[in-house]
A and B are shown apart, each in its own frame.
Chain A
């Protein structure tokens, strides 16, 4: 019998170890890590630099494979996906927010958002209307024709969030999304992500060393030296 939490499960890691380097000189970035994430959850992976947070995110996004253990993305083991399927997954079902925003400076704000819609298969007028709607939702519509290089840090991050959410991806992966922002701006972004969880039933996984985000999280996983210390439940949803 299928449990309801299985239906809403987005990703899960079971005893995942990730090692870098050649045999005999390996560095373990993750050691026997296990956890599950579901729709309607905002999970914070908290830990200092070098604790393995980013490695964990890249495994969740299917950007690399574990050395040991199993990663399931949307109910299917990651190694069962072809490269093409993983590309499609990242284009349509996973949204990314990076610490340094990674907007493409040679494109306008609108083009940046529409580019991922193109990857997801949406083009033309429909894509334009949806992109403008998302820019409006994140209060950057007036900057649609601007180059990202002319934007403030806070504006850039809002565009980056719009880009991550515009394809309706159920899983949003955010790597240090507040790292380049002032406190108020940073918490504003996390608030937007919290709203997308509450209103759109998405699953948001944030990796950060910023403990203030824990106020917005349903669960906080403490990662230290590649090991999850202890799960903690918050009641913010």
Chain B
């Protein structure tokens, strides 16, 4: 009762505080959603290509930020090893795509059209690459540069027809694009070179035996099972992106705590006499601190509701304006942010509650 009257006694202050809380919550939710979007876009390719083993050049641990160059001979050797049922080469090359007034870079991925291993995780429009003159682009890349299915795009001296758009291929700073392996090798200028091999084992074959066979026959390679390779890529993605995310999220949390602490402290100081009267009239120990805590929770709760109401339209707007920003929002993220805001609101009541301790009932007799 009194809590609400304190808050609604200053409607403009209440509105501005809730707005501030909502902005901070939106910022935190947005960062988490961007992170999730980038995480999926960065590792979905590896996750969905469930090869038994990934073979890269020695010391290369992932496909995001390490260089690996293998030859066709390596593939031939592995194909003939006991327990190996199939070997699929993949080539990753960073190339620029010539557009009308710009030349954005894509992470061009050449894959074997026969086995179709190493291709896009999911096609959302159109179809996959069917010949040497086609390309599949990431959907956010296509949206950003206004490319339609059937359009031609130029990479170096090659003109490729856009066959489809893929999903789970947006790494935020760069997007995947898929072509036939031969085309990727032509574009790279090294017809025999590949970046890595996906190895499928025979049913019942032991992966460790195959790893031993590969490393003993080809000393300069690193072999990873699918789980380890996925973890390597996730770790690489997080090490590059997470620190920035944490810093911005932390700033958001600090701003939120500052806003709430400030407002709650002002409310305490403005009502110093009221609280002194309550103390003189025998308010139980926890009554007045609970008023402060309730204020914090109401402000935070209202802010979260406002943030949730505005978040999804806002995200749609951002994705429309900047298609390369792809977000993934889940209920667990919302729960996490809501819990964090709850904790922050409780922590914000510490300073005002310390102020309360210095309000004495004797003050009402002055």
Contact = CB atoms under 8 A, between A and B. Distances in A.
A58 interface: yes
* Residue among A88, A90, A106, A115 with the highest chain B CB neighbour number at 10 A: A106
B6 A106 contact: yes
B287 interface: yes
A233 interface: no
B281 A119 contact: yes
Nearest to A175: B365
Interface stretch (A68-76, A91-99, A182-190, A222-230): A91-99
State the majority secondary structure of interface residues on A: helix
A119 B1 contact: no
B285 A98 contact: no
B365 A57 contact: yes
Nearest to A105: B274
B365 A107 contact: no
A198 interface: no
Given A58-B362, A64-B362, A102-B364, A116 B5 contact: no
Interface residues of A, number: 29
B365 A106 contact: no
Nearest to A64: B362
Given A54-B365, A106-B9, A107-B5, A87 B273 contact: no
Contacts of B189: none
B366 to A, nearest CB: 9
Contact of B284 (A57, A106, A119): A119
A19 to B, nearest CB: 15
Given A58-B365, A98-B364, A102-B364, A115 B280 contact: no
A120 interface: yes
B282 A91 contact: yes
A45 to B, nearest CB: 13
B170 to A, nearest CB: 52
B283 interface: yes
A189 to B, nearest CB: 18
A102 B273 contact: yes
B294 to A, nearest CB: 14
B5 A96 contact: no
A104 interface: yes
Interface residues of B, number: 21
Contacts of B285: 83-84, 87
Contacts of A84: 285
A129 interface: no
A151 interface: no
Contact of A87 (B1, B5, B282): B282
Contacts, number: 67
B277 A92 contact: no
Contacts of B280: 61, 63, 90, 96, 102
A111 interface: yes
A120 B287 CA distance: 12
B282 A120 contact: yes
B283 A87 contact: yes
A96 B281 contact: yes
A89 interface: yes
A104 B282 contact: no
Interface string A109-132: 001000110011000000000000
A107 B283 contact: no
Interface in B264-281: 271, 273-274, 277-278, 280-281
A131 to B, nearest CB: 13
Contact of B281 (A106, A116, A175): A116
Contacts of A115: 2, 278, 281
B5 A106 contact: yes
B342 interface: no
B283 A119 contact: yes
Contacts of B365: 54, 57-58, 98, 175
A102 B283 contact: no
A79 to B, nearest CB: 17
Interface in B103-129: none
Contacts of A107: 1-2, 5
Nearest to B10: A106
B81 to A, nearest CB: 80
A64 B279 CA distance: 13
Interface in B243-292: 271, 273-274, 277-278, 280-285, 287
18 contacts: A54-B365, A58-B365, A83-B285, A87-B282, A90-B280, A90-B281, A91-B283, A92-B282, A94-B282, A98-B277, A102-B280, A104-B2, A105-B274, A106-B6, A107-B1, A115-B278, A119-B278, A175-B365
Which 6 pairs between the two chains have the least Cβ-Cβ distance?
A91-B282, A90-B282, A102-B277, A106-B5, A119-B282, A104-B274
Interface of A: 54, 57-58, 61, 63-64, 83-84, 87-92, 94, 96, 98, 102, 104-107, 111, 115-116, 119-120, 163, 175
